[in-house]
């Protein structure tokens, strides 16, 4: 069984001992819980690469907008604990809101130059909440390595920038997106989808496959690829709104001509569920 901590001072003491007495390397996987195969891939990497693996489970209110799904976000700590045990996780950290944001809390981190676009444009304040909680968690856990999924590509870039700009002594390890057999990227939010909505959600992967095929055949114009993907996605009946659909270089700068390693990034609504995904173009 992983050791479960709810208090910052307790997990600090425990990890401090492991770090000093046993010279243990610490791998860290921050999550909002309701674990699936995507999270599991991060955890498996950490277990392989470190002496001790810490998983945090915390639905961070600071990264949700007022009209977002904070209250209905799925939670199941017992199931998550069982999954962590199965994978060999040593320490679980599941703090309360009071523990993370006690009365009088007032310091936030904003990472600029990268958070103004894409998710940042449609979810104002989201990355401020992410950067703040990630920095807090890094200060609490003090990991050697921390694992982040490419599924949230912009978030990964924001965390990398946070680490670089503030000289944090942690190595960020990106992990490729895990998909269901049909191509849908795994997400805790997929439980919101009805069977019919799930079919429309597959439009995302179909669009990626289409663009990948067209680029492999020689089409390099980003605007053409975007237009074709948009048409394909809109042909699915339950896609309500596309927040953005774009192609950028690996640093999130828009491109006109597609090159190897560029990213297609999309956020769209299927019914009341907002999905994000991205694809690395291989030439
Ligand atoms: P979340 O619990 O959604 O905040 O995600 C916690 C971590 O798991 C983040 O680094 C995510 O990018 C990562 N993650 C979520 N879904 C996937 C997936 N399908 N494949 C790989 N990593 C993922």
pLDDT digits (tens, 9 = 90+) for 77-98: 999 999 999 999 999 999 999 9
Would 76 be classed as within a structural domain?
A: yes
For residue 132, give every residue at least 6 positions away whose Cβ sits within 8 Å of its Cβ, in sequence order, or none: 62, 107, 108, 109
Predicted local confidence at residue 242, as pLDDT = 98
Q: Are residues 233 and 153 in the same domain?
A: no
Instruction: Work out the average pLDDT over 254-275.
Output: 98
Q: What total of structural domains would you count in the chain?
A: 2
Q: Are residues 113 and 253 in the same domain?
A: no
- For residue 270 the two structure tokens come to 């299927």
Q: Are residues 26 and 164 in the same domain?
A: yes
Last residue of a domain, one of 175, 202, 218: 175
Beta 52-57 vs 171-175: how paired, if at all? unpaired
Q: Are residues 150 and 203 in the same domain?
A: no
Would 240 be classed as within a structural domain?
A: yes
Q: Are residues 59 and 168 in the same domain?
A: yes
For residue 23, give every residue at least 6 positions away whose Cβ sits within 8 Å of its Cβ, in sequence order, or none: none
pLDDT tens, residue by residue, 102-161: 999 999 999 999 999 999 999 999 999 999 999 999 999 999 999 999 999 999 999 999
pLDDT tens, residue by residue, 152-188: 999 999 999 999 999 999 999 999 999 999 999 999 9
Would 74 be classed as within a structural domain?
A: yes
Q: Are residues 228 and 201 in the same domain?
A: yes
Q: Are residues 163 and 218 in the same domain?
A: no
Q: Are residues 203 and 152 in the same domain?
A: no
Q: Are residues 193 and 159 in the same domain?
A: no
- Residue in 30, 31, 92, 192 to alter for ligand 1 test, most ligand atoms within 8 A of Cβ: 31
Annotated catalytic residue: which of 14, 36, 39, 210?
39
Would 40 be classed as within a structural domain?
A: yes
- Domain hosting 44: range is 3-175
Q: Are residues 59 and 165 in the same domain?
A: yes
- Residue in 32, 33, 36, 38 to alter for ligand 1 test, most ligand atoms within 8 A of Cβ: 38
CATH assignment of the domain containing 64: 3.40.50.620
CATH assignment of the domain containing 244: 3.30.1300.10
Would 183 be classed as within a structural domain?
A: no
Is residue 210 part of the annotated active site? The answer reads no
pLDDT tens, residue by residue, 215-231: 999 999 999 999 999 99
Q: Are residues 22 and 51 in the same domain?
A: yes
């Amino acid at each position: 069984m992983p050791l479960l901590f709810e208090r910052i001072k307790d997990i600090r003491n425990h990890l401090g001992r492991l770090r000093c007495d046993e010279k243990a390397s610490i791998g860290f996987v921050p999550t909002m819980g309701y674990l699936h195969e995507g999270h599991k891939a991060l955890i498996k990497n950490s277990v392989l690469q470190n002496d001790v693996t810490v998983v945090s489970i915390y639905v961070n209110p600071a990264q949700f907008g007022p009209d977002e799904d904070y209250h209905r976000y799925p939670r199941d700590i017992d199931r998550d604990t069982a999954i962590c045990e199965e994978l060999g996780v040593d320490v679980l950290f599941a703090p309360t809101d009071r523990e993370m944001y006690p009365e009088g809390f007032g310091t936030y981190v904003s990472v600029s130059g990268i958070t103004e676009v894409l998710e940042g444009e449609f979810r104002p304040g989201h990355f401020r909440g992410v950067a703040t909680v990630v920095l807090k968690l890094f200060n609490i856990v003090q990991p050697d390595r921390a694992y982040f999924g490419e599924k949230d590509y912009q978030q990964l870039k924001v965390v990398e920038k946070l680490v670089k700009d503030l000289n944090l002594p942690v190595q960020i390890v990106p992990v490729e997106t895990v998909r269901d057999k049909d191509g849908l990227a795994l997400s805790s939010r997929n439980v919101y989808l009805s069977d019919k909505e799930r079919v429309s959600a597959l439009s995302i992967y179909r669009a990626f496959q289409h663009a990948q095929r067209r680029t492999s055949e020689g089409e390099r114009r980003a605007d053409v690829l975007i237009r074709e993907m948009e048409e394909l996605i809109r042909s699915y009946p339950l896609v309500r709104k596309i927040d953005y659909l774009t192609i950028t270089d690996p640093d999130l700068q828009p491109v006109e001509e597609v090159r190897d390693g560029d990213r297609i990034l999309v956020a769209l609504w299927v019914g009341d569920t907002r999905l994000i995904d991205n694809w690395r173009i291989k030439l």
